[in-house]
Structure 1
């Protein structure tokens, strides 16, 4: 039996494309064994098994950024992780490794190289992270899939962002479906909907700004679906308890429903969010998280340049942004329609999972 090891985790930005690739492989090769590799304390520990995939785990071993006792222990712990993945490859008869980024990927990439099996990489962000830069160096030309056309990464080819079929098949012009999703989410069908989300980890700056402007949202006649992230919304929930059109939830099961009901999306500009919003044509205002490689700003740059979205720096985002920019925009139907058309015109690939599966299949064929 052909066995494939999917490696990645830590954030939904890694887990979502990994699962999309896994589902595609299961559909096209039902006789293959698709297993995932993550850490026991990452989001994947809950999400991957819930999605129906077996998850194997290794320790999370981040590279220390300063001289410390952890730095002295790092080589041994990292080497131990490589050995652990080698044992998985051997015991499960793994034929290839597909990595999407995260702490587990460097040892998985090196183990695949040592085992002399094909290594396939998907890079979600416009600016590649350290793990996938390593993976791109270890594999062959054409075996690295990238999401954005301007991404600079060795051996890469443009495939887009692997995403759930519910999103690629979503038709926001289907009024009946949209009304059904609004009802499911407790929303009325006679007022604009603003969807606010900070991703799986939440976004404190965004939450604070809407906490200070929640009354203004209600007064403007706008419904807000605010997805705060687990454990991040208690203060907001208490403050808006008497506001009938302000809905605070930890998460939405199936983000395609949130995209379907949104007249405007306010969100971080993770690669998955930007790609999904563009594919379904949701007008957006992005608040890039100013950490890491600065990749979130780059992820949204093409969308902003095309007129499909706006961008406000995290440091500048405030209650005034909500009242002076967001609320007027939610009520500007002609401009929202123009932004939606601009998003759709970006022509983001919608078959990225299939393209990644094709790369893998060709690699196995030699």
Structure 2
């Protein structure tokens, strides 16, 4: 009897943690389903994936980067050649690992993968099915293109503007229907809402059970509310200035603070009474976000897609402060949580020490309000997103 070879899956999501972390979460979920599944990550030498992917124990294949110019420049003239080179390299990787499916998470790594997988139609090669996942509330160009070629299109929230996936149906023989080119025979549809895949340590986090250990880890008091402040891996100056500017008032109100300010930034919290039972713990970076979430009762943070996904998955109330520039995507990411009562949106310009004193301190001082917000945040989160995407990936392969 012939033995089926292990499934081979390529995950394409590089550049930023917002693309890499969902890809790694799905890779982990696939391995939990079947340890023999072969996972290959795509990336470029410019992205964080050169560090994050090997740390998670997965092989990384590098392709030439194809950043899309936002304005008409000389780079735009060089774009077609760069795309061809990147697609050719990606196709060689697809053939080398005998990929069964491409799972793309957007960004400039995903676009060549989508085009290379679809290229099989033109080169008389086996077409590799595509699963697209959009994490943001507003879909990017790469995923909009990939969705047109995809077998399944998934999204974190409704209204992202991405659609075109073809959901499989049974063909009468217990297999997904196919149009002869590896795609479902069903017409295009809106994206399936699955949430954002998060790490297993976050998806399974029991904040209350880990609370004592987490607080001891950071040197925080065992009792009293704790405010978590973080602005991404590099920190955020506006968050740093607003919260540290109210450090004395926070600790005087009995509220401790765990503040990740960024490795290149410093905080001045000299006004804090050293004899106060509440503590202001400032660190450059948080390597154990699971412990940081468990130690805390609320957060002040940005509202990038991954931040919103993790904070809501663990049921942590939050004051979301969207980036003041860009296309407004970060505010859109936080709206579903806020609409259910799991947090507030604070414009960057309005986050001041006075806001922290007038708005944040009263919330942290009200245990009933915090509890209600935590329940609402948890209800909006998607702890099972990684496993849901992994199941869909296996369904698409048809084994």
**TM-score normalised to structure 2 length:** 0.84
**Alpha-carbon contact 1:10-1:43 (below 8 Å) kept:** yes
Work out whether residues 248 and 271 of structure 2, in 8 Å CA contact, stay in contact via their aligned partners in 1.
no
Whole-angstrom CA distance in 2 between matches of 1:311 and 1:338: 17
Alignment partner of 1:163 is 2:198: yes
- Contact 2:227-2:296 within 8 A present in 1 as well: yes
Q: Structure 1 residues 123-132 or 17-26, which shifts more?
A: 123-132
Unaligned runs of 5+ in 2: 1-5, 121-126, 166-190
SS of 1:4's partner is strand
Pairwise mapping of residues 143-162 of structure 1 onto structure 2 (< 5 A)?
Answer: 143-154=152-163, 155=165, 156-162=191-197
How much does 1:10 deviate?
Answer: 2.1
Which of residues 263, 269, 289 in structure 2 aligns to 1:240?
269
Q: 1:58 is matched with which residue?
A: 63
CA distance in 1, matches of 2:339, 2:52: 34
The 2-side partners of 1:102 and 1:249 are apart by 30
Query: 1:86 deviation in Å?
Result: 1.0
Q: Which structure features the higher share of helix residues?
A: 1
Q: How many residues align?
A: 357
Is 1:134 aligned to residue 163 of structure 2?
Answer: no
Secondary structure at the counterpart of residue 121 of structure 1: strand
Residue matched to 1:355 = 388
Stretches of structure 1 that go unaligned for 5 or more consecutive residues are: none
How do residues 259-278 of structure 1 correspond to structure 2 at under 5 angstroms? 259-278=293-312
CA contact (8 A) 2:8 2:97 kept: yes
Q: How far 1:253 sits from its partner (Å)?
A: 2.2
Q: CA RMSD in A?
A: 1.9
Describe how 1:164-243 pairs up with structure 2 within 5 A. Answer: 164-174=199-209, 177-229=210-262, 231-233=263-265, 235-236=266-267, 239-240=268-269, 243=272
Measure how far apart 1:149 and its partner are. Answer: 3.2
- Which structure has the larger Rg over C-alpha atoms? 2
Give yes or no for the alignment of 1:122 onto 2:133. yes
SS at match of 1:173: helix
Which shows bigger deviation, 34-43 or 145-154?
145-154
1:255 aligns with 2:289: yes
In the alignment, what sits opposite 1:341? 375
The equivalent of 2:178 in structure 1 is: none
Whole-Å separation in 1 of the counterparts to 2:250 and 2:14: 36
* 2:387 alignment partner, SS class: helix
Question: What CA deviation, in whole Å up to 9, does each residue of 1:17-64 have, x standing for no partner?
Answer: 111100011121222210111121212211111111111222332111
Q: Which residue of the other structure, out of 95, 103, 110, is the alignment partner of 2:100?
A: 95
User: How far, CA to CA, are the matches of 2:388 and 2:379 in structure 1?
Assistant: 21
Q: 2:360 aligns with which of 326, 334, 347?
A: 326
Q: Which has the higher contact order (CA 8 A, sep 6+)?
A: 1
1:92 Cα deviation from its structure 2 partner:
2.1
The TM-score normalised by the length of structure 1 is: 0.92
Which residue does 1:13 correspond to in 2? 18
Q: Provide, for residues 289-326 of structure 1, a one-character-per-residue CA deviation record: whole Å limited to 9, x for no partner.
A: 13333221111111111111011111222222222211
- Cα deviation, 1:166-217, whole Å, max 9, x if unaligned, reads 222222333xx21111111221112321000112242222122234333333
SS in 2 for 1:323: helix
